[in-house]
A = this chain, B = another copy of it.
Amino acid sequence: MKDEPAGPHCAINAGDGALIQLGHGGGGSLMRDLIGKIIAPAMDQASLDIESDGAAVSLGGPAAFTTDSYVVSPLFFPGGDIGSLAVNGTVNDLAMCAAEPSYLSVSFIIEEGLSIETLKRVAQSIGAAAKTAGARIATGDTKVVERGKGDGLYINTAGVGSVKAPFAPGPSRLRPGDAIILSGDIGRHGVAVMASRAELDFTPPIRSDCAPLWDQVRALIDAGVELHCLRDLTRGGLAAALVEIAQSAGCEIAVDEPEIAVSEQISSACELLGLDPIHVANEGRFIAVVPAEHADLAVATLGSASAGQARRIGETTPAHQGGRALIRSAYGVKRQIRTPKGEQLPRIC
């Protein structure tokens, strides 16, 4: 194989129509140019050291570590894109550990033929979302796969952060009689992506709730709310979060359907799409399980930090039967929440 001289002709053409080639993932000058001239500037992370494979991080005290890969389709949807989703999703996983998002990694798996303009838009979105969330992109990686071996772009992010609560929240801390607080209305992300995929035009357009949650969690900690458990409502929606917590804790959870905020527009859209909002993915909502005596403080605190739709939706019950979640209708009928076996909405995140 022949060496090719480095030089100005190697520069990335990011103009209209420039496409990713397999060589952009090859560890050579094309890749260095792609990262150095397109991705890093677009993410606007001045301190990102693209010449090193690892980054120095410093964390005082207990820390949290998390990762998620993002395969959402389409890449852009009202209210967000795969880039903001990849940042907020991982930031929120840290927030659910009561951890301030400190450092993120970003790793791209790009399908040959993706337009460089698209990659740039996504990288800009990553940079903006990281800034909003107060997280630093510390390290990353880029791979390119052949046409037909991907779907444009997949992104993995991992994150590390410092735990700021007196103790790490988790299902094992649940006590009978704890209050379940839901931070806002549900269903926006899943419906926005589905509508975008099906090219349904709602007026006004339904936007994803994709947003970082650390500020809200931080506000709860600062207000002195004891956080027994936090869970963001992503794949599987509110239903999956409640069932998973009940199963992990071995307790019973009961929630009141009328207390669960669903906007009129989402409610109509779900009817149209044949979806139950409690199963639909969100990317900017969470539940907090707190001692009953802290419920009002939690709702009031979230009310000022979030969209004002935080509500106490239920409680953990003295466990007659552990490991299940119940929902009470407006007419007092109780039914057990069951999570679907598999995919309700594929590639929603």
The reply on A145 being an interface residue by CB < 8 A is yes
Of A6, A24, A103, chain B has the most CB atoms within 10 Å of the CB of: A6
The reply on A255 being an interface residue by CB < 8 A is no
The reply on A118 being an interface residue by CB < 8 A is no
* A240 partner, pick from B28, B244, B281, beta carbons under 8 A: B28
Contact B63 A57 (CB under 8 A): yes
The reply on A21 being an interface residue by CB < 8 A is yes
Of A146, A339, A344, chain B has the most CB atoms within 10 Å of the CB of: A339
A338 contacts which chain B residues (CB < 8 A)? 3-6
Contact B62 A93 (CB under 8 A): no
The reply on A266 being an interface residue by CB < 8 A is no
Given contacts A93-B54, A274-B1, contact A236 B26 (CB under 8 A): yes
**How would residues 260 to 287 of chain A score, 1 for a CB under 8 Å from any chain B CB and 0 otherwise?**
0000000000000011100101000000
A306 contacts which chain B residues (CB < 8 A)? none
A69 contacts which chain B residues (CB < 8 A)? 107-109, 141, 143, 156
Contact A342 B30 (CB under 8 A): yes
Contact B275 A1 (CB under 8 A): yes
Min Cβ gap A28→B in Å is 5
Contact A71 B343 (CB under 8 A): no
The reply on A305 being an interface residue by CB < 8 A is no
Given contacts A107-B156, A171-B51, contact A25 B276 (CB under 8 A): no
Contact B26 A344 (CB under 8 A): yes
The reply on A68 being an interface residue by CB < 8 A is yes
Chain B: CB-nearest residue to A170:
B52
Interface residues in A92-117 (C-beta closer than 8 Å to B): 93-94, 96-97, 99, 103, 105-109
Interface residues in A1-36 (C-beta closer than 8 Å to B): 1, 3-6, 10, 21-32
Chain B: CB-nearest residue to A9:
B341
* A244 partner, pick from B51, B70, B139, B163, beta carbons under 8 A: B51
The reply on A248 being an interface residue by CB < 8 A is yes
Which of A75-83, A123-131, A147-155, A292-300 forms part of the interface with chain B?
A147-155
Chain B: CB-nearest residue to A152:
B149
The reply on A234 being an interface residue by CB < 8 A is yes
The reply on A119 being an interface residue by CB < 8 A is no
Min Cβ gap A228→B in Å is 14
Min Cβ gap A171→B in Å is 7
Can you list 18 A-B contacts with CB-CB less than 8 angstroms, sorted by A residue number? A1-B275, A1-B344, A22-B342, A23-B342, A27-B235, A51-B248, A52-B170, A53-B68, A53-B232, A55-B66, A56-B168, A65-B105, A67-B107, A143-B347, A149-B150, A149-B151, A154-B154, A156-B156
